[in-house]
Structure 1
Amino acid sequence: MKENEMAHVGHSWLKTNPGSYQKVCDRYHQFASEVLAHNADLHDVIIVGNQAQNTIEGFGIWENAAHAASLEDTQDFAAFMADVANDLAEPYHRNDLVLLYRMNPKS
């Protein structure tokens, strides 16, 4: 990546039906592992959740915005959505962000 270019962050969030939170969390983790294995441009994935609100959010840091944008067109995504569709209280949401700063974690 060039010095003046910034990484792309794909942000998605899901709201689960009551009682489906853990199932969707586990399947989201599996999906993220599959995507990491198939996409060299995907550097990091962070998945966070709020069980009290039945929400799960994922943040993927991509070098290439076009690759991030095409994630929903993959077989991995289609299989993930097919597995969790009946467990969601509302449709899948996606937001595209620009990574402004990335701090190095402490050892």
Structure 2
Amino acid sequence: MVDRRSTCRQRVYYGGRLAFHERTSTFDCIVRNFSAGGAKIEIGNPAAVPDTVELLIARQGVAYFGRIVWRLENLAGLALNGPRRHVASLPLDIALRLRATERINRQLRAELIRLRSVF
């Protein structure tokens, strides 16, 4: 098999997270090898992930926009764009907490409306 990569990949073992659909959906993954131009990730179900994703690597404090170029049973290959720091946008953990808080807020408002209608 001919290696067509433009840069060498380093073997790594990073915990990562794939975010997509404007960060409303996420999958945890393991980054197995990595370079500035791409990465191999291990994920439970690569078929459930769309072609364009954001790869967040908390250990490095960076995120990469990329696209999936190949998929196997539990592996996928990503072609990555240049890194960007998390601080440029809302960090994913805060976005997830915000979404959970908004859901609880909607539930509480619905309960309040229900209670007002009873009295």
Q: Decide: shared fold, TM above 0.5.
A: no
Select the structure that is richer in helix. 1
The structure number with the bigger radius of gyration is: 2
TM-score (normalizing by structure 2): 0.28
TM-score (normalizing by structure 1): 0.30
RCO higher in structure (CA 8 A, sep ≥6):
1
Select the structure that is richer in strand. 2
